[in-house]
A and B are shown apart, each in its own frame.
Chain A
Amino acid sequence: MGHSMAKCLSLVLLALLAACAPGKPAAPAGPVKVSIFVGFGTGTDPSQIEVHNQLAKEFNDTHKDIQVEFVTVPYAEARTKYSAMVAGNMAPDLVMPIGVMGIAGNYDGWKDIAPYIKKDNYDLSDYYGPAVDVHKYSDKTVGLPIGVYPSVVYYNSDMFDRAKLPYPPTKIGEAYQGSPWTYDTLIQLAQKLTLDKKKKNATQPGFDAGNVVQYGFDGWDWSPWRIVPGKFGGNALGMSADFKTAQMNTTEWKAGLKFLYDTINTWHVRPKGAGENATSIYGDNDPIGSGKTGMWECFSWIQYAYSGWSANFSWNVAPVPAGPTGKVVAQANADTFAIPVQAPHPDQAWEVMKWMVEPANMVRLTNSYGAIPARKSLAAGWLEGQKKISTKVNWQLFLDSIDYMDKPNNEAWVPNYQKVWDAMENNMTAVTTGKVTDTDKALDTLNTEVQGYLDEYWKAKK
């Protein structure tokens, strides 16, 4: 082959080896650069990028020792890029906004900010208690709350008009036509709103369940379905508090899954399908927006769809009904900041975090994200802003629902998080698509599968 060739090759290999050795860049003098990674949640739309840039400019103009920079990555690929950056010694200093699910997906990778809160004696009194708690875990606090997205039942009031039915209650605790506002009451109402091709509703004889054109109720598709057992008095975590024993086939869990099954197959108020791809009912993941659903239990981040709804029908909101135990659980999503464990400048990141959640700044973030601000002092301003969207919608209900946030949160961390999530997803899909009819047996199978994932996790920890 020739010596020259061999020499060439060895040169290349040497260059390779040199390049692979991780180099640590010398710390530059001057202001500390804090990079904020956006992409784990919302915040990547051009209009939101503008808000971020504006905030960055204001921060930079008022802080000479810290300079902030936003790095925005499309949501679909954010996890991938984040992993690459961390592996390449380029971890960002802050991640925002990130929801409970985002935190849980990378749980071990976030820094505990409880020491910072303690050191600065940071005042948490202006925040809603549940909003702060949702980011507190047994071994760490991950971030300061930015916004919350409680759940309500959105309903198409035109449909109620056509069916000549009174609207659902407006306040938590209010009754409906003399009956307490529970899921049973809701289902009965939903049946009257479920119509077949011949305009017969689900309570009337001769109702054709195979040809439904309008459904009465939908919900729970956008959250892991373990919130449902929570409403039925079960342990929403689905496992023991030490995360070692799966508890997904308890009586309450079985009752919850049977309820879901019944909504489709016994009461016919809910369509068959896996959600996203049943576009004739779900449109673009929006049952109410498709104009085919009477009531939809969803989180408030669906705000982006309001203008589309208003363009097609009148709508309002009702509280989440109480479960069979009489308790109201209004599941919520929540956005926060988080500091990666590998962040190069965690102290400065904390300073930036504090600045971003100051009321004047937080409100700009929450308006941009479509979130309810986590500070009580901003509630009045939020109501004013929402009135511009509609003067008829009962916006106060959102604020009231914050106190009924689920605990533990429906997206809260469990071991082997994503595998457990996928298992629950598959289980729920199997029921909604009709692949499974024996819901009790399905939960027993699920429990075994999840127990396996928990065992796998703890075995690796040893």
Chain B
Amino acid sequence: MSSILSSSRRSRWERRVALILVAVGSLAILVPLAYLVSGSLTSKETIKTVPQSLVPSETYRTPIDGQITFVYNMTVNGQPRQLAVVEKNGENWVYANPDNPAERYTLPAADPSARATKLAFHPENYSTALTKSPFGSYMLNTLVILAFVTLGTVLSSVLVAFAFARYRFRGMPLLFMILLSTVMLPSQVLLIPTFVFFANIGWYNTWLPLIVPAFFANAWDVFLFRQFFLAIPLELDEAAKIDGCGPLRVLWHVILPESLPVVLTVTLFTMIYVWNDYFGPLIYLKDRALFTVALGLQDFNALYFQQSHLQAAGALMMLLPPVLVFFFAQKYFIQGTVVSGVKG
């Protein structure tokens, strides 16, 4: 029997359940993110304290008699007081009132757990991370590479996928397998031969090894496009052909409009890949003036010199643009055109 009557009530109940599940699941995202944010606001000295705290706080230290010293939460005559250590004489330490250094007390040595802490936010980490290296020019470099690679990838992958989706003749399955097999060989063993090739044609220390191959189709994207193209009914193609469209116009007028969501998805994926890619630039670039943002951030991971607080700040800044792009562009490639079914 038809359940249309209860469908609206049912869908409201469903939406509630979905909301609850989603909200609970999102904690798995928010909690790690909170630690990342906290790390980005911590100072260099405290980022390595254990346990990592969600709220950036620092030990309260104050200068007394020209020396910076710790302040502890002590109890004097039953009253809680915050006192700074002035002298350590083995078992008993001498403490002073931070506001009135002349006021002294002699009490037992304090435990670090009694150390006073205060909230300490260091938003300057963000500006430090940005200025330690020329991220302005790195950003420009990244955008240029990004534009070319995205354009080339989407353009060429669409063309190649169209062939695989709409043409069928002997050898196509084999070619498709070859296409897929190109990503099955681990890149570590391809690295040196590829590098030697690019070095020999003089493309080392240029952006060319990063940009040019993008114009020759990306196997993953071809595969994805092919899957979506295959879902478009042939009748639409036929209708266009009857109207006199050649293959290119079929592609432009039929396939692409129906595939706008996936085209935009691939565009987004490619942009994010280039944005985060530091290995390609690392291998092929020498002059720091040509570096990208992702590669520039690797500077904060030096041996004996890890600057985890700057790394965290940098990582958060890095993920902001892709996230914002996704947030605002969502409606274009998710709530895109709904394919109206052909009756019958």
> Do A and B have CB atoms closer than 8 angstroms in the complex?
yes
Partner of A308, one of B46, B133, B288: B46
Stretch at the interface among B152-160, B250-258, B304-312: B304-312
User: Is the CB–CB distance between B195 and A370 below 8 Å?
Assistant: no
Bound-state CA distance A74–B282 (Å) is 8
B298 in contact (CB, < 8 A):
yes
User: Is the CB–CB distance between B191 and A80 below 8 Å?
Assistant: yes
A-B contact pairs, 7 of them (CB 8 A): A20-B196, A42-B304, A46-B132, A84-B283, A89-B199, A161-B93, A304-B305
User: Is the CB–CB distance between A370 and B44 below 8 Å?
Assistant: no
Smallest CB–CB gap between A15 and chain B, Å?
Answer: 9
Bound-state CA distance A312–B227 (Å) is 58
Which residue from chain B places its CB closest to the CB of A22 in the assembled complex? B200
Given A23-B200, A162-B111, A310-B45, 5 new contacts (CB under 8 A):
A74-B299, A290-B50, A292-B50, A304-B304, A369-B304
- The interface of chain B, by Cβ under 8 A from chain A, is 44-52, 58-59, 61, 88, 90-91, 93, 109-112, 132-133, 191-192, 195-201, 204, 279, 282-283, 286, 288, 298-308
Bound-state CA distance A163–B332 (Å) is 66
Bound-state CA distance A281–B305 (Å) is 20
User: Is the CB–CB distance between A46 and B133 below 8 Å?
Assistant: yes
Smallest CB–CB gap between A227 and chain B, Å?
Answer: 19
Partner of B197, one of A20, A90, A312: A20
User: Is the CB–CB distance between B302 and A20 below 8 Å?
Assistant: no
User: Is the CB–CB distance between A158 and B305 below 8 Å?
Assistant: no
User: Is the CB–CB distance between A84 and B195 below 8 Å?
Assistant: yes
User: Is the CB–CB distance between B299 and A308 below 8 Å?
Assistant: no
Bound-state CA distance A255–B111 (Å) is 37
Given A23-B200, A83-B192, A161-B88, A370 and B304 contact (CB-CB distance below 8 Å): yes
Which residue from chain A places its CB closest to the CB of B299 in the assembled complex? A46
Bound-state CA distance A22–B197 (Å) is 9
A-chain residues with CB within 8 Å of residue B48 when the two chains form the complex: 283-284, 286, 289-290, 305, 308
User: Is the CB–CB distance between B49 and A48 below 8 Å?
Assistant: no
Bound-state CA distance A305–B44 (Å) is 9
Smallest CB–CB gap between B41 and chain A, Å?
Answer: 16
Interface core residue of B195, B198, B302 (most chain A CB under 10 Å): B302
A30 in contact (CB, < 8 A):
no
Which residue from chain B places its CB closest to the CB of A16 in the assembled complex? B197
Smallest CB–CB gap between A366 and chain B, Å?
Answer: 13
A230 in contact (CB, < 8 A):
no
A-chain residues with CB within 8 Å of residue B61 when the two chains form the complex: 311
A27 in contact (CB, < 8 A):
no
Partner of B109, one of A71, A161, A302: A161
B-chain residues with CB within 8 Å of residue A80 when the two chains form the complex: 191, 283
Bound-state CA distance A72–B301 (Å) is 13
A-chain residues with CB within 8 Å of residue B58 when the two chains form the complex: 311
User: Is the CB–CB distance between B49 and A283 below 8 Å?
Assistant: yes
User: Is the CB–CB distance between A73 and B282 below 8 Å?
Assistant: yes
User: Is the CB–CB distance between A280 and B51 below 8 Å?
Assistant: yes
Q: Which residues 1-39 of A sit at the B interface, judged by CB distance below 8 A?
A: 19-23
User: Is the CB–CB distance between B301 and A75 below 8 Å?
Assistant: yes
A-chain residues with CB within 8 Å of residue B191 when the two chains form the complex: 80, 84
Bound-state CA distance A158–B112 (Å) is 8
A-chain residues with CB within 8 Å of residue B283 when the two chains form the complex: 77, 80-81, 84
Bound-state CA distance A307–B51 (Å) is 18
B-chain residues with CB within 8 Å of residue A342 when the two chains form the complex: none
Smallest CB–CB gap between A336 and chain B, Å?
Answer: 15
User: Is the CB–CB distance between B90 and A301 below 8 Å?
Assistant: no
User: Is the CB–CB distance between A308 and B44 below 8 Å?
Assistant: yes
Given A164-B90, A308-B44, A312-B45, A88 and B199 contact (CB-CB distance below 8 Å): yes
Partner of B112, one of A48, A291, A304: A291
A45 in contact (CB, < 8 A):
yes
Which residue from chain B places its CB closest to the CB of A284 in the assembled complex? B48
Smallest CB–CB gap between A293 and chain B, Å?
Answer: 11
Given A42-B305, A44-B302, A71 and B50 contact (CB-CB distance below 8 Å): no
User: Is the CB–CB distance between A41 and B200 below 8 Å?
Assistant: no
Bound-state CA distance A311–B49 (Å) is 10
Smallest CB–CB gap between B112 and chain A, Å?
Answer: 6
Smallest CB–CB gap between B209 and chain A, Å?
Answer: 11
Smallest CB–CB gap between B215 and chain A, Å?
Answer: 14
Bound-state CA distance A162–B110 (Å) is 7
A-chain residues with CB within 8 Å of residue B305 when the two chains form the complex: 42, 44-45, 47-48, 304
Bound-state CA distance A48–B302 (Å) is 10
Given A289-B48, A305-B48, A41 and B282 contact (CB-CB distance below 8 Å): no
A294 in contact (CB, < 8 A):
no
User: Is the CB–CB distance between B49 and A44 below 8 Å?
Assistant: no
A460 in contact (CB, < 8 A):
no
User: Is the CB–CB distance between A20 and B204 below 8 Å?
Assistant: no
A355 in contact (CB, < 8 A):
no
User: Is the CB–CB distance between B286 and A71 below 8 Å?
Assistant: yes
Bound-state CA distance A71–B47 (Å) is 30
CB-based closest 4 A-B pairs: A88-B199, A311-B45, A45-B302, A290-B50
Which residue from chain A places its CB closest to the CB of B93 in the assembled complex? A161
B-chain residues with CB within 8 Å of residue A77 when the two chains form the complex: 279, 282-283
A-chain residues with CB within 8 Å of residue B52 when the two chains form the complex: 279
A314 in contact (CB, < 8 A):
yes
Bound-state CA distance A72–B295 (Å) is 11
A360 in contact (CB, < 8 A):
no
A43 in contact (CB, < 8 A):
yes
Bound-state CA distance A21–B179 (Å) is 26
Bound-state CA distance A324–B286 (Å) is 51
B-chain residues with CB within 8 Å of residue A75 when the two chains form the complex: 301-303
Bound-state CA distance A295–B64 (Å) is 28
B-chain residues with CB within 8 Å of residue A161 when the two chains form the complex: 88, 90-91, 93, 109
User: Is the CB–CB distance between A19 and B204 below 8 Å?
Assistant: no
A-chain residues with CB within 8 Å of residue B110 when the two chains form the complex: 162
Bound-state CA distance A159–B210 (Å) is 54
Bound-state CA distance A311–B195 (Å) is 46
User: Is the CB–CB distance between B50 and A291 below 8 Å?
Assistant: yes
Partner of B299, one of A41, A44, A281, A370: A44
Bound-state CA distance A146–B52 (Å) is 36
Bound-state CA distance A311–B61 (Å) is 8
Which residue from chain A places its CB closest to the CB of B91 in the assembled complex? A164
Q: Which residues 346-402 of A sit at the B interface, judged by CB distance below 8 A?
A: 369-370
